[in-house]
């Protein structure tokens, strides 16, 4: 059993991670300002601090009190908000991450596992599938800020011996993803169909993404506690799916036939994305277990349960 601190532990990925950490017998503390996280996601077996990672003094007091051995840094802004307010995005994703790094060093944390973005960091791919060595040319403030924080992890590893793993995520979906944040097309499609609405599809719908189910992401985080030191690894499936295909899969799973509303392409959206996961398989011993069809069914069932 280890003492673990999770930033963003009331959010989509963070709360699923907290649940698994507790199931494995760890003692877990959560830091979340509930800006995008939700109190109903909180596991009552974890200690909760409603605090902001941009407040370094408050963060220091939490670290001093909890003395975590491992830190999972999941807290972040979100892509759409970053375009509207890049200053706020940089404050959360860069300054907040620096605070987490500095307090982890001060507390002699054994390791920090960083939830990074692969989908937003690389920009328009120069080759596919994208490897971890692909040039980083972000097209959104979110992509810039998330990757910038990874540089701070590398620098503090080199200068101060900080042990970390950066997990670069593809498009993650599953239970507890908030359709109102516009970050997850699966939850948005399910929510629209449940509410008898037509979802918007940006551009021609042929843009592709690599969709990975949240339970598989949690698996990668758990493995990174003991593997992948000072490495950056993709968490993805290596399977390319376009938006129209995804919408058809969701409609079929829900047995609903409904048109969508075409909309103009979104600023910063890349055309295609699919990730090479051979390094992650080799270093973490990780592979995704959940098929897209299975993950969609589980997501639909969870969203239906929330309406009861």
In the chain, % of residues over pLDDT 70? 99
**How far apart (Å, rounded) are the C-alpha atoms in residues 186 and 250?**
7
CATH number at residue 266: 3.90.25.10
**How far apart (Å, rounded) are the C-alpha atoms in residues 132 and 276?**
8
Q: Which domain holds residue 220?
A: 3-172+213-236
Can you tell me the mean pLDDT for 86-94?
Answer: 95
Q: 219 with 103, same domain?
A: yes
The answer to whether position 227 is within a domain reads yes
Average pLDDT over all residues of the chain: 96
Q: 118 with 262, same domain?
A: no
Q: Per-residue pLDDT tens for 78-89? A: 766 778 899 999
Per-residue confidence (pLDDT) for residue 70, from 0 to 100: 99
Per-residue confidence (pLDDT) for residue 182, from 0 to 100: 59
Per-residue confidence (pLDDT) for residue 84, from 0 to 100: 85
Q: Per-residue pLDDT tens for 159-191? A: 999 999 999 999 999 999 999 875 689 999 999
The answer to whether position 280 is within a domain reads no
The answer to whether position 286 is within a domain reads no
Is 168 within 8 Å of 129 (Cβ atoms)?
no
Per-residue confidence (pLDDT) for residue 82, from 0 to 100: 78
Is 156 within 8 Å of 162 (Cβ atoms)?
yes
In the chain, % of residues over pLDDT 90? 91
Q: Per-residue pLDDT tens for 189-231? A: 999 999 999 999 999 999 999 999 999 999 999 999 999 999 9
Can you tell me the mean pLDDT for 239-251?
Answer: 98
Per-residue confidence (pLDDT) for residue 307, from 0 to 100: 85
**How far apart (Å, rounded) are the C-alpha atoms in residues 27 and 47?**
9
Residue 210 tokens, joined:
């690599």
Q: Per-residue pLDDT tens for 1-47? A: 899 999 999 999 999 999 999 999 999 999 999 999 999 999 999 99
Per-residue confidence (pLDDT) for residue 236, from 0 to 100: 98
Q: 14 with 35, same domain?
A: yes
pTM metric for this prediction = 0.97
Quick one: residue 88, left, alpha or beta (phi over 0 = left, psi -120 to 50 = alpha)? alpha
Q: 181 with 165, same domain?
A: no
How many domains would you assign to the chain?
A: 2
> Using 50, 70 and 90 to split pLDDT, how confident is the model at 74?
very high
Q: 109 with 129, same domain?
A: yes
Is 246 within 8 Å of 283 (Cβ atoms)?
no
In the predicted structure, residue 49 carries a pLDDT above the cut 80: yes
Q: 259 with 192, same domain?
A: yes
Per-residue confidence (pLDDT) for residue 269, from 0 to 100: 84
Residues labelled as active-site residues: 142
């Amino acid at each position: 059993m280890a003492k673990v601190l999770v930033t963003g532990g009331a959010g989509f990925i963070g709360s699923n991670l907290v649940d698994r950490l507790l199931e494995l017998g760890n003692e877990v503390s959560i830091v979340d300002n509930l800006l995008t996280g939700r109190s109903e996601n909180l596991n009552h077996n974890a200690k909760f601090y409603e605090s902001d990672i941009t407040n370094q003094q408050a963060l220091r007091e939490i670290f001093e009190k909890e003395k975590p051995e491992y830190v999972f840094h999941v807290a972040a802004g979100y892509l759409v908000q970053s375009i509207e307010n890049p200053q706020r995005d940089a404050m959360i994703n860069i300054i907040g991450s620096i605070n987490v790094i500095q307090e982890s060093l001060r507390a002699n944390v054994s390791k920090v596992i960083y939830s990074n973005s692969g989908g937003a960091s690389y920009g328009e791919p120069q080759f596919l599938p994208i490897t971890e060595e692909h040039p980083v040319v972000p097209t959104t403030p979110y992509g810039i800020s998330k990757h910038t924080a990874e540089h701070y992890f590398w620098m503090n590893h080199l200068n101060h011996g900080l042990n970390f793993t950066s997990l670069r995520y593809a498009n993650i979906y599953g239970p507890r993803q908030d359709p109102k944040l516009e970050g997850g097309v699966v939850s948005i499609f399910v929510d629209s169909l449940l509410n008898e609405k037509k979802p918007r599809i940006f551009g021609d719908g042929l843009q592709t993404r690599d969709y990975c189910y949240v339970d598989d992401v949690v698996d990668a985080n758990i493995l990174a506690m003991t593997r992948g030191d000072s490495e950056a690894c993709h968490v993805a499936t290596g399977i390319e799916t376009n938006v129209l295909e995804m919408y058809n899969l969701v409609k079929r799973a829900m047995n609903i036939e409904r048109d969508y509303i075409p909309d103009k392409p979104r600023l910063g959206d890349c055309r295609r994305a699919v990730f090479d996961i051979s390094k992650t398989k080799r270093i973490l011993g990780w592979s995704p277990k959940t098929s897209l069809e299975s993950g969609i069914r589980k997501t639909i069932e969870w969203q239906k349960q929330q309406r009861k």
